[in-house]
Chain A
Amino acid sequence: MDDTAGPAWQRRLMVGLLLAPALLWLFALIVLPHVDLALLSFRERTAPREYVTSLAQYRTFFGEPLYWHIFVRTAVMSLVSTTLTLLIAFPVAWTIAKLARGRLGTLLFIVCLIPFWVSETVRTLGWMILLRESGVLPGLLVHLGITTVPVELLYHDATILVGLVYTSLLFMVVPLVSSLESLDNSLIEAAYDLGGNGLSILRQIVIPHALPGITAGCIVVFMLTLGNYLTPTLLGGTSSQWFTEQIYTQFITRFNWEQGAAFGFLLLALSTSMVWLGLKLSGQRFSDVMRRT
């Protein structure tokens, strides 16, 4: 039919126009820089202004134990931080989704959101004020007689984890709340009625139902943590040994863009493979999970 061709053609143009800003953004800010970075990472400077294509940057990474160590450490710390965030966020999300009714639920949600009204830098500096040797918490510990002298609470791995969990909590709570809200209360009652107890209901009913939300939250939090620069640097100081710092150092301090680009791609590969592994282990499909975020 001829008369359907017109509207269909118009519709396609409309969709194209609506998508244009997003596509432009995707291309200009994500695809283009990454193509350039990929090209950068595969070249080696042989003499001033002379470059050859090689795998030297990647070879350096695999040949230098320090880089390896920081890479693995960043991955493990991010995993630990994601797990802690999940464990802390789950009861919070349960309270918001199932226990708090109406305004109380909204209020709790806002409480989770409030820290994000200030910039990450200010938030992290707030932690430093609390935790540094002359800060609030060490002072309090001395005052209460728990320690005799103020202790330095900054620059420990635990401090980095605290900061990372704090920063990521909201991104875990949101998908968890939405997946728990969709859980029909009568399923919990039915399981209870059939003899289930808290633990078995959590394991067999709640977690299987919330799994897409859990996976979504974990993926987002893991990626944010892995790519975080500010929190590990400020709270961990020189001992933080975060991989993003290495990238920063290569680009800014050493002006070795080729090495920095290679590191960037290694981090991308790490986060991609971890997400893939997470999806495989939880038996979730990427599209289902992304709908939850």
Chain B
Amino acid sequence: MSATAAAPDLEVDRAIKRFGEHTAVDALSFSVARGSFFSILGPSGCGKTTLLRMIAGFIQPDEGDIRIGGRSMRGIAPNRRPVNMVFQQLALFPMMSVGENVAFGLARRGVARAERTRKAEAMLERVGLGGAARKKVDELSGGQRQRVAIARSLVLEPTLLLLDEPLGALDLKLREHMKIELKQLQAAFGTTFVYITHDQSEALVLSDHVGVMNRGRFEQLGTPQQLYYEPATPFVAGFVGANNRIVGRATSVAGSDVVVTTPEGWAIRARASAPVAAGAAVEAFVRPEAATLARSAAELPAGQPGHTGEVESLLFDGANSAVLLREAATRFEFRIALPQTGRYADLKVGELIHFSFEPARAACFPAGAAHG
């Protein structure tokens, strides 16, 4: 490749795709750095599959351009792009053996039989399937098929590997396992991965950068940490990770310090993530783990406004256990993560408990901003 190391492997430049009245991808621009793992995260129908199919070449953008490795892909068919795709249902060829599946692309490039057999076997070895070349596709487990699908693409040494929710069809346990495996594979090969998913956990765990997509546009593009801790829009705050959503009015605004009062009259302090006018309708988001529990008000961290809640239910989920509270005066529902120490494991339903959170960790947005 003649492109310099700094050149992005993928540049999408104001790409637009319309289907009749509906704009699936709306003037989207972004670039993906070489060797990075980029995820496009969004709910179904947000346009992420259309975007991926445009990059692969199955759909042509109505306007704008897509450059891969610095080269415009306008008018270039999928079989001539330096891009390969791992399909949602994997699309392994059932009429061929595992080895033939991996060697398929090499054969199409005119690689001699002996050479492609050797390459295919070496690639299978690298993904931990050494000796499986002669097996039939339906003899493999779900995770092994996944690896064959990736090997089949990576053996062609593409500039870009596109992955279309490849973990969607797997059961939970295998999905968790494959997440780690995908990350390790990407690190080992150094190929640029573009991954689409509606599962925020997959996007957070795997990616260097994530674009959160909604209605054909990116709501936010950033590192998983940025998305989680500094959501740019209410949609991102609501979509990425669990959040308590508190809808009300900004009853007082002083700089970025906002007091949000719910219609029931519960007032909390929050930080404005976007300009908020006094009296305007707003929504604030507080992560369950941002709040602290205490049996007495005196134990709460100093300087944080204290609240009181009644335990409504206990949601035990190992490390992700939480308690669902009702704010004592207004019955507003609030979820708080239980500390890992096992403290408060003895909470009883109906018990009154104090809680507080740092106002800076309650992100406040003007209401009515786009969210799904």
Contacts and interface: CB of A to CB of B under 8 A. Distances in A.
B87 A194 contact: no
Nearest to A185: B91
Interface stretch (A148-156, A169-177, A200-208): A200-208
Contacts of B294: none
A181 to B, nearest CB: 16
Contact of A186 (B79, B84, B91, B95): B91
A189 B91 contact: yes
A184 B156 CA distance: 23
B304 interface: no
Given A205-B95, A209-B95, A193 B89 contact: no
B89 A195 contact: no
Interface in B41-89: 56, 58, 77-79, 83-85, 87-89
Nearest to A190: B91
A135 interface: no
Interface string A187-222: 101111111110010001100110000000000000
Contact of A192 (B79, B92, B93): B79
Interface string B174-202: 00000000000000000000000000000
B105 interface: yes
Contact of A200 (B77, B83, B91, B108): B108
Q: Which of B83, B89, B93 gathers most chain A CB within 10 Å? A: B93
Nearest to B87: A186
Q: Which 10 A-B pairs have the closest CB atoms?
A: A195-B108, A194-B105, A190-B91, A208-B95, A186-B91, A186-B87, A195-B79, A193-B85, A195-B105, A193-B78
A209 B137 CA distance: 14
Interface in B140-161: 152-153, 156
Contacts of A204: 93, 95-96, 104
Contacts of A208: 95
A190 B148 CA distance: 13
B95 A193 contact: no
Contact of B104 (A184, A189, A196, A197): A196
Q: Is the interface of A mostly helix, strand, loop or mixed?
A: helix
B109 interface: yes
B85 A191 contact: no
Contacts of A184: 89, 91
A203 to B, nearest CB: 11
Given A187-B93, A189-B58, A205-B93, A197 B87 contact: no
A194 B84 contact: yes
Contacts of A205: 93, 95
Interface in B80-129: 83-85, 87-89, 91-96, 104-105, 108-109
Contacts of B78: 189, 192-193
Interface residues of B, number: 24
A27 to B, nearest CB: 40
A54 B52 CA distance: 75
A282 to B, nearest CB: 13
B321 to A, nearest CB: 40
A189 B49 CA distance: 14
Contacts of A209: 94-95
Nearest to B81: A193
A193 B109 contact: no
Nearest to B58: A189
A194 B155 CA distance: 10
A204 B96 CA distance: 9
A136 B95 CA distance: 49
Contacts of B85: 189-190, 193
Contacts of A197: 79, 108
B108 A194 contact: yes
A271 B60 CA distance: 51
A193 B56 contact: yes
A208 B96 CA distance: 9
Nearest to A205: B93
Contacts of B108: 194-197, 200
A187 B137 CA distance: 13
Contact of B88 (A186, A192, A193, A200): A186
B112 to A, nearest CB: 16
A189 B87 contact: yes
A185 to B, nearest CB: 9
9 contacts: A184-B89, A189-B85, A193-B56, A193-B85, A194-B105, A194-B108, A195-B109, A204-B104, A205-B93
Contacts of A192: 77-79
A184 to B, nearest CB: 7
Nearest to B84: A193
Given A195-B79, A196-B79, A196-B104, A190 B87 contact: yes
A191 B77 CA distance: 13
Contacts of B104: 191, 194, 196, 204
B39 to A, nearest CB: 20
